[in-house]
Structure 1
Amino acid sequence: MKSKKLYLTEDFSERESPFQSDDYPMILLGKNINPIHIDMLISSPRSDDPYASRLSQISASLSSNKTEKKFRCTKARGLFRRLLIRRSHTFYKIWSITIEIVLTYNVITTLFFLAYEYPNGILLVCDTMSMCVFALEIILNFFTEQEGKNSRTNKSFRSIAKNYSRGWLFFDILAILPLRLAGLEMEEYLLRMFRLFKLPKVMNFTDGNGLSYLLTYFQFGRREKNGKTTYSYKHKIIASLVKLFIFTIFLVYFLGCFWFWFQRLIANYKYSQGPNEKDENTFENAFGLQEVGSLRLALISSYYMFTTIATIGYGDYTPKNVYEMTFTFIVMLFGATLIGIIDGNFNNAISVYSDATCGYDIVGELHVWLGQLERVQGALDSKIRDKIINHFQNYSDKDRLKFLAKKYWEAKCLDDLVNIDQVYVRQLPEQAYNSIIQILFTDFIHNFKYFLSLKVHLKIIPHLQPRKYEQNDLIYTQGEEIDELIFLLSGRISIGIIFDEKHQSLLVCEKGRTVIGDYAVLTKQKNNYDYLSEEYSESFSINGEIFMKIIENYFPEEKASMLGMAVKRENSLKKLKKNLLATLETEGSSPLKYKNKVSMIMPRDNHEFAYNEEETMKKITRFMNLGADMSLKSEIILSQIKSRDELRDIFIEGIDDELSPIYLE
């Protein structure tokens, strides 16, 4: 066995040897650092070698079986890590979409094959291909990163194999057994029914995998750079409605298929025969469905099951023997209860969606209040009235907190700003209350996690208020005192300055990740730029004074990081503004007027002044006088600096002359 490469120096550090050998590794040892083969050094160590005992230990460890075994395990782990399929990888996303589509198709067709007719032709080819996909899935599951507890991922091969073996491995193998080759088609399709328990994962449209990831291409949810998918509160409600609707349809289809398979299964039983001991007293025979196509049979069976579980019972289709009656009784008993639960959840989801997206009652109360105000004060201006109504309409539509919102103006002390003061949630554990907040603002917490930590989010979210800005709305102007911190959710906000009464953009805010006004709020200074909404934009805002009270009194350590990001952006804006001013002045725009600055006239090369105009001449004379005064003052200052420098040099020379004899002595 060849020795491992080992580079050992007198200071026990590793150092590359300039002499490399393909046959033998080299060792660096001694003061001269001459390369010596490790086997020669170990076989004949010098008596004065201080490292002789250490070299013998190294030799023993290299020759031990445990070391070789550990080396092989390490090598195997390295190979597994290269083959590991990361959950954030594009291949995993595509494979998850493929598996969920194939799974949905396989479950639907398996029920159809079991109840109505066995596959043939193109259906048989597609069914065989889906079985091959599931067989490949079993292999890939051993090399796929698993999601563990506390959002941690499991990357250990042993742990992944152990978890999969204890979970779905046995059922996945049973579901791909080709029993039809032995003439056991019905048994094969019954074993495939284990895949029904995987359907809830397919219908979860907000888990960020599979079909839910595919929906992000249609703007249903947001795909982040780290591979995760976030959903707004509205999208989650819509997903729950769609999920309930699909589940109801699938339940009816499943019971219809199972019903038709069952009535065929008991066709030849004792109590299913007619008076003449002929097989006539069955659902299929009684209604003449023997010659009906499979698709029509599926529709009839589903229709009959729906009327049964909904307790409508038109009487056009009825059970015909004691077995069918028992089956129908069980379906009516449990199916009606299940449909009732589904309908209740469906109605509850619609109610929650209506509360979250509709505010007509609040707007109606606002109209009443405005009417009372106008009767006392007179008619309001139509633009002001529309602006008030639109503001509160948007507030009602986009407010996620509802009665969870905190009224900071009613706070009597600092603790009232962060404590739970609502009567109906005060008794909840803090963990449950925080979970509610996180569910309502999942997208907000994810988008602004770089700005605030989770513990800060949970304290300021109850103070958030929805805001909207129409196109060309000026949110903040230069020199204005900012009283609200704005978190941009959607739209396009431009940060810039006003030139020639036009907005010159310096920086465009990133959609869904920009905080506006943080520098002014944190430093308690006036705003330095103009914020213009270039398109319809939505945001959440929090009162700046309340935000600072919460941060300074409860999370002082967070203020430094927030201020650092704000100062960094402010410095970038200053550089951009300086470059923009230089560019515009170089272009010679006439006249250039910068808001809150002295107006200047920048002539072009071919521009002719109208000297006969009195106002123009006055401005030119005033600027010339100002320039002359500034030039005179600068010359005086420079002369003073020069004279002071000369006096300083004379003084230093005098000191050197006095001290030089001392140095010589």
Structure 2
Amino acid sequence: MVKYSRVFPAKSKDFEFVSKYQKLAAGSFMTFECLDTEYAQPDIQFRKSKTIRASKLIKLLTFKKTKRLDEENFDFYERYDIAKHEKFIIKCDSKPKILFNIFMNILVIYSVIMSLFLLAFEVVDKTFTVFEIFVWLMFIIELILTFFTEFVDEKGKSIKNFRIIAIKYAKTWLLFDFLAILPLSYTGNPNTEYFLRMSRLLKMSRLFYMIDVRNVTNYLRLNSKTISKKQRILYLIIEKSWDLIIEICSIMFFCYFLSCLWWYYVNLLRDYRKVHYNFVDFYGLNDFDTNHQLIVCMYFIFTTLMTVGYGDYSARNSYEMGFCIFIMLIGSAWLALTISRVISFVKELEKIGEVKDNLNDLVVFINNLENIHGVMPSLLKKKVLAHFNYYWKHDRLGRLANPDWTRDIHGLLEISDETLKSLPKKLQQNTLDYLFKDYFNNFTKFFGTEDEFRYDICLHMQPRFYDNEYILLQGDFCQELLLMQKGYALMGFHDENDNFIICQNFSSGIIIGESSVFLKMPSFASYKAYDVEAMAIPDHAVTKILREKYPARMLNYMDIVRNRTASLMANVEGHEGYIKTDARHKLLWQMSIKSTEDDQYISHNKRLKDIYKKFKEMKKQLKDMHDEILIIKGPE
């Protein structure tokens, strides 16, 4: 028999990850514990002051004669492994690393520009300058440091394991970075070296992502007491000016790239295809130095790209004309895109006084609270801002959301948005299916497929995000249903030492808060979330809509909730250390009484609806009989 459980401290930012392996044999057992500050330490502490490696413990736990861990439980060991070499890893968000990355991105731009120039104009420089040697050494250092630098995966986890970092680097940039630092000029193949350096072209945009002026404007917004209309216009102008600068730099580099490509293409036709009537010979550009040649090429490419074409320089043969057609197609599309961006910028300036600024309202709200109660703690302010930033980014409904959260059933069912309201009912449902198709498919037992409940309730759904925090504590009431789409949650309880004992873990596709919403009882367990993305529905909206419009569905789903709650409670109470009190029995008794009252209420409501339905049928029959009498009797 194998038992395993995990213990977390209830009130601590840093959590303990405790894994117990108990092997009952000949009346004796062994217990292993792993104490952690953020994820885990490299070694696992044994009670008799011995240590074993984590890999050995995992092999012990997954041995054929023992109980294997499922995929959900194994995720905890992934958390242990990713922080295995934390002491030797360079943090990606440290200031020295950020400055180093900015400097290396500048060197990337320099390397690409010089490689293009040397490859196109075939400049042979036998003197290897000190600066070029320095650049070459810096790229070698960057390649080595990449193996010691953490990265953040797609789930937002910080990876600090040499093996995982090396595998990630090998699958992405390792081959390109290695080929780009090969000194092939010493072997007599300078063009090959310049060509391999061109792989750094894909890294050039990193510098503009790192140096983003929006970080400055957002900081100014959040640290201003109020944001006036002039300030909003100023911040918008700064942001759009930065976008314009990026656009101009992109156009200039693209012109430079095409200029080098044009010169290389013309000389290729001249030397290998023996095309004598060409751009170079016609204008006698070989008589000038390389700087003049580059300026002429950029002038010709830029005028062609902008579809100006002054005529002083032009293509001289069919091959060059075909290249120019390709450039003009790109130039016209790019010019149209740039003009559309300028128009959108002007429209944003015109509507800035009309559009409601959510961030400004939030800043005013926080400042009002601080004026009354003093400075808000930085951690609390950070959580409030993170909540609203996630809400604004992932709110699927926008203005389609139903703002009426009153107890009136008509207000809960009414569509407030006039555009959606004006659509035919079938198109309304298709639109809502498009917005919430993933939730409708993952929570079919709750939303159903036979009636219109899912379309009525989805107008009240709000996005939520939780990471390394408690969603619901034991003994508290949950005021909303949480439909967990991504991430995982731990269900457990707090023992006498205030440690969090894990009873069960859940992945996506579960609903948290059902016992509070449907059975009107406090939570019998606590739930802790990690990287959870969910949708929340207010409790009164769910219960009111189900009771008033879908009573049969309410009865069926409450039976499901009762059975599920009883199963989860049995799981929790079966763990050692769970404290059973009289309050628990009172809660169970209240749950059964409340369930009986709900059944009586719903049954009574259903009977009234059945009577009203029969009354309408009788009224229709009487009307038909009256029409038949009039037809037989005839007009007077």
TM-score, scaled relative to structure 1: 0.41
Whose radius of gyration is greater, 1 or 2? 1
> Which of structures 1 and 2 has the larger relative contact order (alpha carbons within 8 angstroms, sep 6+)?
2
